[in-house]
Amino acid sequence: MELEVRHLRALCAIADTGSLRKAARQLGMTQPSLTTQLRRIENTIGGRLFSREVTGSRPTPLGRSVLCRARPIVAEMNALLSEVRLEAGQTADARLRVGSTGSRAVVGWLRRLRDRYPDADTTIHIDVSANALLQMVAANQLDVAFVHEVEGAPLRVPEGVERRVLVEREPQFVALAETHPAAARPTVRLADLAADQWMVDPSVDGEGPGLRRVLAAAGLNPRVVYGDYLTAADLVASGEVVTPCQPTARSRQGVAVRPLHGDPLTVRLFLASRVAPAARTGAAGRAPDMALPADTEATGPDDPGTVPGAPLDVDALFGDLADAYFEIAWAGSAYRQWLVRNESPLLRSHEPRARDALDVLGLAGPAEVS
């Protein structure tokens, strides 16, 4: 077998995601197909390129050597394809490529983006790995990506990618069986779950280490197992496990979603995009992070943009995301009360609409909203 660019892309994807499963999802392949392809590549090269570990796939010394040569080739091929498409009239002004880790806000965000750019072909790429999405933004495979970063487990933000922070510190709630004694309380303490088995999804970057750090800080050492959040509901409802979950998560039959006392588990939500050439500053080549509301100069990708007749307006995309996220956050009573009590920037950015509904909670006083 002769090595082709698609083989090099596969090697880069495995290295970037650290997982054959996540790399296969990114490449649009099945995991068995990618495993077979990797085996053929290794047979052609004559040595193992990745070692399989508990935490994922890691490049061997030979693998690192091959990747050092493969990455520039893949980058050059991406640039060549972009330039050729532009010259052939297949410009990016008909496409808007957005990515996201799992979030209920995605539906509302897409609706707003299609209203804003009705002539654009807007596509969404969902991946549980935030690091994989950031790599896709850096490689010009996505225009923007909405991701979350677990506190204490920073993401690997590639060179040339900037962040607009939507929520600096968002609490993670807990999903537990409705029959669990702690489910009867409005707020659950970690100590209430000391005897429970926790489950985390190893594909979610930083989730496992973040949970273990928080449990250790609380003096707890429960059993932590790995599983898929998409199929966890039945395990939670049966009382087999408890899991961290987003505060926007809906309670399902047999499952209760509750806040954790003191917000020990938190994430940062941000929108990632490529830095415009004029915005590249500093030794790292990356502009400073921007917090909500976005009041800094608009930036866009290095290419001519995906919006007809104009560069990509990332600030507008960010504003649409903030509106969609607030809509979902405000719909849940537990998270709504958290937003109010903590004077969230999300709440301040939507103050007129939010204040109209605060009387329902009895929280409309000046102490809660400024």
| Conformation bin of residue 56: beta by default, left when phi > 0, alpha when psi is -120 to 50 | left
The pLDDT of residue 87: 67
pLDDT digits (tens, 9 = 90+) for 42-87: 999 999 999 887 778 889 999 989 998 888 888 888 778 777 766 6
The pLDDT of residue 228: 78
Tally Cβ neighbours within 10 Å of residue 220. Answer: 15
Q: Helices 333-341 and 351-361 meet at what angle, rounded to 10?
A: 110
Distance CA 144, CA 298 (A): 14
Q: What is the largest CA-CA distance in the chain?
A: 71
Region 229-242 average pLDDT: 87
Distance CA 153, CA 81 (A): 35
Proportion of the chain above pLDDT 90, given as a percent: 43
The pLDDT of residue 290: 33
Proportion of the chain above pLDDT 70, given as a percent: 81
The pLDDT of residue 287: 37
Task: Identify the three-state secondary structure at position 355.
Answer: helix
Which range, of 18-22, 31-35, 52-56, averages the lowest pLDDT? 52-56
Q: Single out the residue of 261, 263, 264, 266 nearest to residue 182, CA to CA.
A: 261
Which range, of 20-29, 75-84, 300-309, 340-349, averages the lowest pLDDT? 300-309
The pLDDT of residue 358: 43
Tell me the helix, strand and coil percentages in the chain, rounded to 5: 45, 20, 40
Has residue 162 got a pLDDT over 90? yes
Give the chain's mean pLDDT. Answer: 81
> In the structure encoding, which two tokens stand for residue 366, read together?
């000046």
Has residue 40 got a pLDDT over 50? yes
pLDDT digits (tens, 9 = 90+) for 129-140: 899 899 999 988
Say what the pTM is.
0.66
| Residue 297 confidence class, pLDDT cut points 50, 70, 90 | very low
Distance CA 129, CA 139 (A): 16
User: Which whole-number Å values give the CA distances from 181 to 15, 184, 225, in the listed order?
Assistant: 43, 6, 22
Q: Single out the residue of 346, 338, 330 nearest to residue 292, CA to CA.
A: 346
Higher pLDDT, 345 or 50: 50
27 membership: H or E segment, kind and range: helix 20-27
Distance CA 30, CA 165 (A): 34
Contact assessment for residue 76 and residue 101, using Cβ atoms and an 8 Å cutoff: no
The strand pair at 50-53 and 95-100 is best described as unpaired
The pLDDT of residue 332: 83
> In the structure encoding, which two tokens stand for residue 71, read together?
């990455």
Higher pLDDT, 76 or 211: 211
User: Which whole-number Å values give the CA distances from 360 to 150, 329, 336, in the listed order?
Assistant: 32, 16, 11
Region 287-306 average pLDDT: 36
Region 268-295 average pLDDT: 56
Higher pLDDT, 120 or 92: 120
The pLDDT of residue 317: 93
